[in-house]
Structure 1
Amino acid sequence: MFDQSIQLFFSENQNLLYFLALILDLGFTVLMYRFFGKNGLLACIVLSILLANLQGPKLTVIFGMQTSLGVIFYSSIFFATDLMSEKFGKNAADQAVMMGFSISVMVLIMLSLSLLFSPSTQDNQVFSTEVHNAFVRILDFTPRFIIGSLLAYLISQRFDVWCFHKIKAWTNGKHLWLRNNLSTMASQTIDTAIYSFVVWWGVVDLETAIELGLVKMMFKIGIAAFDTPFVYWARSWKIAGTDK
């Protein structure tokens, strides 16, 4: 897709690529909200879930630490949920969480069914077999991964919405930065703990599981702090149907 010179540049500047991907991900979410309101945020939540699951198996090294590429796209779900909470209220945010969960289950079922179709045996057999094997490699998730991902998403997201509005009530609607960061960091901790326990328990030793979880948490907390200006930027817009 990209010119070879661009690929070479970013292969040598992975940390810069990380920030670029993060800015684009958050920026696209803000723009979708600006032009499409609540529907734009719903679309971004669903899109981020799909991207996080597809990109999740891809490991990369950022700032000298190995992490899953899915952490970028998954963390932006919490940004979209907090923005939904701030602008449209708790019920709308809870509905968005459940919609994201439901779509995740439906996509999982349909993708699993697609793997049951055999590759073509006609003239393009080699090509179709290669594509089929690539699909299997990416989409054939283990039951532990599926259960861990769905449980972590549902529980942490519901907690994020609840925590966000509790802090908002305690502070009388002030200090958006506080409720955005505290609710996200707390819910991300729950998400990482559930995922690490379900997916990695018994697969790797406890020390390795904790190490993998801590690295992901470092990135997630960093992203939570990084997205705060984007939340303030989006909150300043007057969008039809918002609480304020």
Structure 2
Amino acid sequence: MFPDFFQIYFSEHQNLLYLSTLVLDLGLTVLMFRFFGKEGLLACIVLSILLANLQGPKLTVIFSMQTSLGVIFYSSIFFATDLMSEKFGKKEADRAVMMGFSISVIILLMLSISLLFLPSIQSNQTFSTDVHQAFVKILDFTPRFIIGSLFSYLISQRFDVWCFHKIKHWTNGKHLWLRNNLSTMASQTIDTTLYSLVVWWGVVDLETAIQLGLAKMAFKIGIAAFDTPFIYWARSWRG
């Protein structure tokens, strides 16, 4: 899709690629809100869930830490939820969370069903089989992953909305940066802890599980702080 010089440059500057992708993701979320309002935010939540599920298995190294590429898109769900809370209130934010949960279930179910279809077999052609095997590698989710991802998403997102509005009430609607960062960081901690307990318990040793969790938390907290200017950018617009 991209020209060769573009690919070569970013293959040598992975940290810059990460930051550019993060800016693009958050910026597009704000623009979707600008042009489509509440429906635009709902679309971004759905899109981020889909991207996080598809790109979650891909591991990369950013700032000398191994992380899942899905962290970028999963973390932007919390940004969209906070913006939904700020502009449309707790009821609409909770509705968006439940819609996101329902869509997650549907995505995981339909992707799993797609793997039951056998590839077409034609003489002297392996294309169909190769594509099928690629799908299996990416989409063959284990029960642990499904339960862990759905459970952690629902609990952490509901907490995020609750915490956001509690802080907003305590501060009389002031200090958007405070409620945006504290609610997201707290909910991301819950999300990472629950996910790690369900997915990694008994699979890897405790030290490895802690290392994986801390790496994910570092990126999630960094993204939470990074998205603050974007939520101020969007707040002044009428949704």
- Fold similarity call, TM over 0.5: yes
Equivalent-residue separation in structure 2 for 1:49 and 1:32 (angstroms): 16
Shift in alpha-carbon separation, 1:124–1:131, aligned structure 2, 3 A: farther
Alignment correspondent of 2:130: 130
What is the 5 A alignment of 1:185-200? 185-200=185-200
Equivalent-residue separation in structure 2 for 1:156 and 1:170 (angstroms): 21
What is the 5 A alignment of 1:1-244? 1-122=1-122, 125-239=125-239
Note the residue ranges of structure 1 that are not aligned, 5 or more in a row: 240-244
Equivalent-residue separation in structure 1 for 2:40 and 2:129 (angstroms): 37
Shift in alpha-carbon separation, 1:2–1:89, aligned structure 2, 3 A: same
The one-letter code of the counterpart of 2:205 is D
CA apart distance, 1:124: 7.4
CA apart distance, 1:80: 0.1
Equivalent-residue separation in structure 1 for 2:123 and 2:156 (angstroms): 48
The one-letter code of the counterpart of 2:33 is Y
Q: Secondary structure at the match of 1:60?
A: strand
Equivalent-residue separation in structure 1 for 2:225 and 2:181 (angstroms): 6
CA apart distance, 1:122: 2.9
The C-alpha deviation readout for 1:158-204, integer Å capped at 9, x for no partner, is 00000000000000000000000000000000000001111111110
Equivalent-residue separation in structure 2 for 1:125 and 1:48 (angstroms): 35
Alignment correspondent of 1:242: none
Q: TM-score, normalised by structure 1?
A: 0.96
Equivalent-residue separation in structure 1 for 2:166 and 2:124 (angstroms): 58
The one-letter code of the counterpart of 1:32 is M
Measured on the aligned residues, the alpha-carbon RMSD in Å equals 0.9
Equivalent-residue separation in structure 1 for 2:93 and 2:125 (angstroms): 46
Shift in alpha-carbon separation, 1:194–1:124, aligned structure 2, 3 A: farther
Q: Secondary structure at the match of 2:61?
A: strand
The one-letter code of the counterpart of 1:140 is D
CA apart distance, 1:238: 1.6
Shift in alpha-carbon separation, 1:76–1:124, aligned structure 2, 3 A: farther
Instruction: State the percentage of identical aligned residues.
Output: 83
Equivalent-residue separation in structure 2 for 1:68 and 1:209 (angstroms): 14
CA apart distance, 1:108: 1.1
CA apart distance, 1:123: 5.2
Equivalent-residue separation in structure 1 for 2:57 and 2:121 (angstroms): 29
Q: Does structure 2 conserve the Cα–Cα contact (< 8 Å) formed by 1:119 and 1:125? A: no
Q: How many residues are aligned here?
A: 239
Equivalent-residue separation in structure 1 for 2:221 and 2:56 (angstroms): 18
Equivalent-residue separation in structure 2 for 1:152 and 1:200 (angstroms): 13
